[in-house]
Amino acid sequence: MFPELSLCGYPPEDLLLRSSMHARISRALDSLCEEVSGIYMVVGYPWQEGDACYNKAAVIADGRLLASYAKQQLPNYRVFDEKRYFTEGNECCLLEIDGLPVAVTVCEDIWHPQPMAQARGRRCPVDAQPQCLALPYGQTARARGHAGRSRR
């Protein structure tokens, strides 16, 4: 498990406006897919799709990208300015890893009910309730005071 936006560093800010950054991210993901074998890796990265840029988490194993998730809840307070750079995702990510249904979310999503409600619903490819949560978050989550405590 690697942190949110670990392929570029958090926060990437205006680097996201450079096309060369997205080309490097694409090459880095391809390289990880080639190198990762025998384990499951969750890694955070920015991803450009047309005019939209998403804060994503990828699940990689045995030479391929198995799944990806676009962060749904973009913080825009204090030091966070994610709505300036990213588009909100709108779909959950639920996959089976060695028989265990795993939901993937990113950082701020854990503090809001919608992303996990989607994963608990039947709107995902795996027809099972998640039993585990993969949650990459940036180091700034500690500064916010959320790391290690629950609001629910």
pLDDT of residue 32: 95
What is the arrangement of strands in the sheet containing 64-70, beginning at the earlier edge strand? 40-49, 52-61, 64-70
- Give the pLDDT band of residue 139 (cuts 50, 70, 90): low
Averaged pLDDT of the chain: 84
DSSP 126: S
- The per-residue DSSP string of 12-53 comes to -GGGGG-HHHHHHHHHHHHHHHHH--SSEEEEEEEEEETTEE
The angle at the Cα of 31, spanning 25 to 34, to the nearest 5 degrees, equals: 145
pTM as predicted:
0.83
- Interval 19-72: pLDDT, tens: 999 999 999 999 999 999 999 999 999 999 999 999 999 999 999 999 999 999
User: Of these residues, 8, 33, 71, 93, which one is catalytic?
Assistant: 71
Q: Is 71 a catalytic residue?
A: yes
pLDDT digits (tens, 9 = 90+) for 66-121: 999 999 999 988 878 899 999 999 998 888 888 888 889 999 998 888 888 887 77
Which is the catalytic residue, given 33, 93, 107, 124? 107
Let me know if 34 is a catalytic residue: no
Residue 4 annotated as catalytic: yes
